[in-house]
Chain A
Amino acid sequence: MTPLFEKPVWRLVGDRGALVEYGDSITPEINRKVRSMAMAIGKEHPRGIVEVIPTYRSLLIIYDPMETDVSHLQGELDSLEAHLDRLDIPPPRLVEIPVAYGGDFGPDIGFVAGFNELTVDEVVEIHSAAIYQIYMIGFTPGFPFLGGLSEQLHTPRLETPRALVPAGSVGIANNQTGIYPVASPGGWRLIGKTPLTLFVPSRRHPFLYEAGDLIKFVPITVEEYHAVAARGDG
């Protein structure tokens, strides 16, 4: 496993962007570094940075070329990195996502169980026991790419993606698990559904979590699902 780069690798992204890579693999360690640097930049907000987008192993920095340039940014990020331990970086939040597993909510749970020679109950137990790190958010608004899926649950994608996966569906694709915050086409194996509304554009904080946060799935019954859905919170 490749560890963190000794020095980040900078790549140019046009005249307004730079990609700063901290490693070239998908590991919790590299992603924690990405999160710490994103938070450090958020705290210190070096002049000219317009937006910082954390990814699996890098930060995409969008800057205003009228305010700064790449060599300035390199200097400022190097200095932030050197003093990272002095910055008060809060620990990642743990966000609990209630999930009703199986049935109509998770039509592929039987396949996931069969493929991995497990019972459906074991799939639920294993999936909800883990704490997952949000490596990146993308694909659709709020879609979390989660690391930490047990090898016991790795399952290939559907051969033919569904035309429409309902919002709230929880799925598995190979070594990844994730949630569909908005209805969209998708090829992940669906094992359950959360009654929470994960993306509310009109809310002050439209999303329940951000990259770097931790997610834990909490199994709930169909009755509990409907009770939460009826309250309409999330």
Chain B
Amino acid sequence: METFLVLEPGAFTTIQDAGRYGYQQFGVPVSGALDEFSFRVANLLVGNDETAAALEITFQGPKLEALSECVVAVTGAETPIRVNARPEVGWRSFAVHKGDVITIRAAQRGIRSYVAVSGGILVPEIMGSRSTYVGAGLGGLDGRALVTGDTLFREQAAAVPSAVSLPERFRPALSSEIALRAIPGPQDDYFDRGIDDFYATSFTVSAKADRMGYRLVGPEIKFKGGAPQSIISEPSMPGAVQIPPDGSPIILLVEQTAGGYAKIATVISPDLDVIAQARPGDRVRFERIDLATAHGVHRAWREKLRVVREILQSGKSCVS
């Protein structure tokens, strides 16, 4: 059923779900929500399956007119939300009625927000996913970001309660000083002193930061003497930190497929949520972590999500 009329699209608002798997061997990147925790929680707050399609906002949010009664939740970045003149808060679901106008303004901290609506945004599933990949015009709404005048639909859903909120202690802390845990490799052997520089210094997020990757500015990371500056092209994973010949790291993200530059380290998957909220100008440093410890962090991330799911699905958090 009709759910929103897009009055203003925001800076870059796309439909995303948990990603498109199984096609990377054909050069199709996974896409999907960059901040997976915030995305999943947005869905849980409105009673959805946590991988239902939602809107991903980058910095400046949209203005949406509700075309039917529904329950909405906004998570992720810290951002002012209004329904008509009434302020709402993030991480807490709210009901909207036909004709209400939801306005999500520029993020004050963090940069990506997720808007989930009861039932989930309805677009055709393309190759197993509703995620938008604008690079190939795939998925989402005609493979592109929202524009003024778009109508969004949602799946039918049973009535769900509103004012469900995620307890404060589970919400991610957003900071402009960001630490990312990274495992050396796959091509850490192309570097010697460059490795020490990489972990010892901090970098600034440049303006070239999008769903393909984040380009960082800082001291030049030098290759080992005699090491080739490129590799035989290979696919990359989200979080891989590529060092091009100019020595400025690029954190590759969910819309990257293959590349030919050496990767000094790979940010662990739970910290992709943290990168997703990094803004140009933020400071980033990398902390070396070994695989066993990283798997512990991964398990903890999943466990936290499990606890959150239990709390939100049991309705224990209805009062906020």
Q: Chain A interface (Cβ within 8 Å of chain B)?
A: 11-17, 19, 24-26, 50-58, 60, 62, 65-66, 69-70, 136-143, 145, 182, 201-202, 206-207, 210-211
Say yes or no: B136 contacts A182, CB within 8 Å.
yes
Q: Chain B interface (Cβ within 8 Å of chain A)?
A: 21-28, 126-127, 135-138, 182-187, 232-235, 237, 239-240, 257-258, 263, 266-269, 291, 294-295, 297-299, 302
Say yes or no: A138 contacts B298, CB within 8 Å.
no
CA distance A24 to B266 in the complex (A): 21
User: Could you say which residues of chain B place their CB within 8 Å of the CB of A206?
Assistant: 23, 26, 127
CA distance A52 to B237 in the complex (A): 12
Between B126, B186, B268, B299, the greatest number of chain A beta carbons within 10 A of the residue's beta carbon is seen for B186
CA distance A53 to B295 in the complex (A): 22
Given A15-B183, A15-B294, A138-B258, are A60 and B235 neighbors across the interface (CB < 8 Å)? yes
User: Could you say which residues of chain A place their CB within 8 Å of the CB of B21?
Assistant: 50-51
Say yes or no: A139 contacts B266, CB within 8 Å.
no
Say yes or no: B239 contacts A141, CB within 8 Å.
no
Given A65-B298, A141-B27, A201-B127, are A19 and B234 neighbors across the interface (CB < 8 Å)? yes
Q: B235 contacts which of A14, A53, A142, A182 (Cβ < 8 Å)?
A: A53
- The prevalent SS among residues of A at the interface is loop
User: Could you say which residues of chain A place their CB within 8 Å of the CB of B266?
Assistant: 12-15, 17
Say yes or no: A66 contacts B257, CB within 8 Å.
no
Query: What is the number of contacts between chain A and chain B, taking CB atoms within 8 Å?
Result: 121
Say yes or no: A14 contacts B237, CB within 8 Å.
yes
Say yes or no: A139 contacts B258, CB within 8 Å.
yes
In the complex formed, the residue of B with least CB distance to A25 is: B232
User: Could you say which residues of chain B place their CB within 8 Å of the CB of A202?
Assistant: 126
Given A26-B232, A138-B257, A202-B126, are A66 and B299 neighbors across the interface (CB < 8 Å)? yes
Say yes or no: B234 contacts A60, CB within 8 Å.
yes
User: Could you say which residues of chain A place their CB within 8 Å of the CB of B23?
Assistant: 141, 206
CA distance A178 to B137 in the complex (A): 21
User: Could you say which residues of chain A place their CB within 8 Å of the CB of B299?
Assistant: 65-66
CA distance A14 to B22 in the complex (A): 19
Given A11-B186, A15-B269, are A139 and B257 neighbors across the interface (CB < 8 Å)? yes
CA distance A206 to B138 in the complex (A): 12
Say yes or no: A12 contacts B237, CB within 8 Å.
no
User: Could you say which residues of chain B place their CB within 8 Å of the CB of A141?
Assistant: 23, 26-28, 136, 138
Given A140-B136, A206-B26, are A14 and B239 neighbors across the interface (CB < 8 Å)? yes
Q: B269 contacts which of A16, A26, A57, A139 (Cβ < 8 Å)?
A: A16
User: Could you say which residues of chain A place their CB within 8 Å of the CB of B235?
Assistant: 53, 55, 60, 138
CA distance A70 to B186 in the complex (A): 14
CA distance A51 to B238 in the complex (A): 14
Say yes or no: A207 contacts B26, CB within 8 Å.
yes
Say yes or no: B186 contacts A19, CB within 8 Å.
yes
Given A15-B294, A51-B21, are A138 and B268 neighbors across the interface (CB < 8 Å)? no
